[in-house]
Structure 1
């Protein structure tokens, strides 16, 4: 039914307007107790076999919502109602900002992909922190907070900009993510170089520890798929050196060549980050490389081109403890998470592994041995 609705309605609408319309519906449904209970039962049945331990937290499963959908922490319970096992909000910047001019979100329907150049449009870390502090939890779920650089802040002041957001948001985060890999903020990806990344991550770690003294807030970094292999290795080594808790692989790509895109050049030529199915292979390659480098010392989160249970299962076998999606949700709708969970449970049951934890990295270990 959703696919018919998408073809007849959403596909004809401006992509950003359709996003906000769906967003409003989800939020509205989550406010009605009887409706949210009904929808949660229908869309988010739990499979005991999928229970996952990550960052010291037990989650109902490994599958979460990637950052970018709920930038301002206004629909956490709505997304949990739909079946996401964790929800990563943001990207949040120290200062509120409107983002880039519209249009800035484009659907490549035939490629099952999106291009966005949103530009970290959000309310700012002070407003988001206040919203998280005032939140009344309806569905217990793990909440990640993804932070980035304010566009107007010079690159030389980037560290303090991240620190400001970390100080405000760490207390409300089950884990904190440093985003240095969006292509839509000028100069941001330059921070992925180890020389720039080391002081940034160290400063954010110190800020989180100052802000939250009764627990250690897990800290992750999110990297781009466009990094050269040697740069992926450098980030992996740095993460181990600094004692990071995780790496998210990967963000969107600026690449267009070699991805087999079928959409018209007017779409594929739009500036911005490409997400969805065309990103699948490269994201998986980066994930395998990271796991081969860090093993079980760091928690890896696989994202990029995850469309179905098989994709999620391949991410786990490659080394991901957690898996995230976003673009496929736009195309497949509210029953997507249910299908992914059901398919994952079936694959685990048919595998030689007793638990998902046993399956993490199994294929990469075979290749490496």
Structure 2
């Protein structure tokens, strides 16, 4: 079905289509007679062999939805009906912000890729926290990750305070945290991946990570464009700060392999999809070997098939996430991956 609809969707602006689709999915889940049952029977795979426990959390399957798809946590229940083992919301910032100017998302069908320069557009952490609080009252079974960042106008020297605000506000309503310092679409953000500021940020959050005897797993999301030396630093920082693990990887700024028309490939922003498949897997394998499998890795980047997912798990990932593959392959991608893993 999706293969028949996709050519129509691809005739329109990607961001507008995104909002159109998720709003109607949400309506179908909430208001169509037996909508939730239809979605779950069509897409959700309940197989015990897929269950796994990672950083102290039980996942019904290892296939998650990456951050950016549901920034404000508005569609979690409907998306969960599609079979995801966990859903990551955000990136969220302390204050609401509109993000970068439109247009800011571009399809590259020839490369099965996306370029985005969204710029952390979101409604702010207070709105997200309240929405997640209500959701957790209704449904405690959905595993939710909170991806946190800094506001565009916050200088890097004050960035820690933005992450702390998001961390404290979401602590009671998410199952794990992701520290996003690797998006290429917020000016200067990737400078926070350097060893000194990153160590300071993660140690500060870990110092707060005990509330009434409870702690949340904290993961670091890194860019695929890091050198081996920088990846070595990441391993050292993760072990030293004692955070739970790493998400590898975010989007890339390397567009050297693209075959799409030059004017499209030249659009500013982070590249995701098939051109990232190999590099993200290489980063996973490097981190896993370098650390001696000292911490879990969530693998993301260019997963468009069950084989792509298997490659990342075999490289050392404990869990995986999809985004661009979800856009290109449709909602059956979760079921297809899960069946193949069994």
Measured against the shorter chain, the TM-score band is: over 0.9
Give secondary structure in 2 for the equivalent of 1:87. Answer: strand
* Cα pair distance change 1:296/1:118, threshold 3 Å: same
Find the counterpart in structure 2 of residue 133 from structure 1.
Answer: 133
Hey, what's the Cα distance between the residues in 1 that align with 2:138 and 2:40?
15
Q: Is the 8 A contact 2:288 2:294 kept in 1?
A: no
Hey, what's the Cα distance between the residues in 1 that align with 2:195 and 2:23?
40
Does residue 247 of structure 2 align to residue 248 of structure 1? yes
TM-score, structure 2 as length reference? 0.97
TM-score, structure 1 as length reference? 0.90
Shift of 1:148: 0.6
Hey, what's the Cα distance between the residues in 2 that align with 1:245 and 1:277?
28
Q: Which runs of 5 or more structure 2 residues have no equivalent in the other structure?
A: none
Find the counterpart in structure 2 of residue 5 from structure 1.
Answer: 5
Hey, what's the Cα distance between the residues in 1 that align with 2:304 and 2:47?
19
Q: Deviations over 1:306-355 (max 9, x none)?
A: 1111111111111100000100111111212111111111xxxxxxxxxx
Q: Is the 8 A contact 1:110 1:263 kept in 2?
A: yes
Find the counterpart in structure 2 of residue 17 from structure 1.
Answer: 16
Q: Which runs of 5 or more structure 1 residues have no equivalent in the other structure?
A: 346-369
Greater than 6 Å deviation, 4+ residue runs: none
Give secondary structure in 2 for the equivalent of 1:12. Answer: coil
Hey, what's the Cα distance between the residues in 2 that align with 1:206 and 1:130?
24
Q: Is the 8 A contact 1:40 1:82 kept in 2?
A: yes
Pairwise CA RMSD of aligned residues? Answer: 1.2
Q: Is the 8 A contact 2:92 2:120 kept in 1?
A: yes
Find the counterpart in structure 2 of residue 88 from structure 1.
Answer: 88
Hey, what's the Cα distance between the residues in 2 that align with 1:93 and 1:25?
26
Q: Deviations over 1:150-195 (max 9, x none)?
A: 0011111101111111110121110001000000000000000111
Find the counterpart in structure 1 of residue 57 from structure 2.
Answer: 57
Q: Deviations over 1:190-237 (max 9, x none)?
A: 00011110111111222343xx32421000000000011110111111
* Cα pair distance change 1:208/1:131, threshold 3 Å: farther
Alignment length (residue pairs): 340
Shift of 1:23: 1.0
Find the counterpart in structure 1 of residue 216 from structure 2.
Answer: 217
Q: Deviations over 1:4-40 (max 9, x none)?
A: 2111x21111010001011102211221372112211
Find the counterpart in structure 1 of residue 203 from structure 2.
Answer: 202
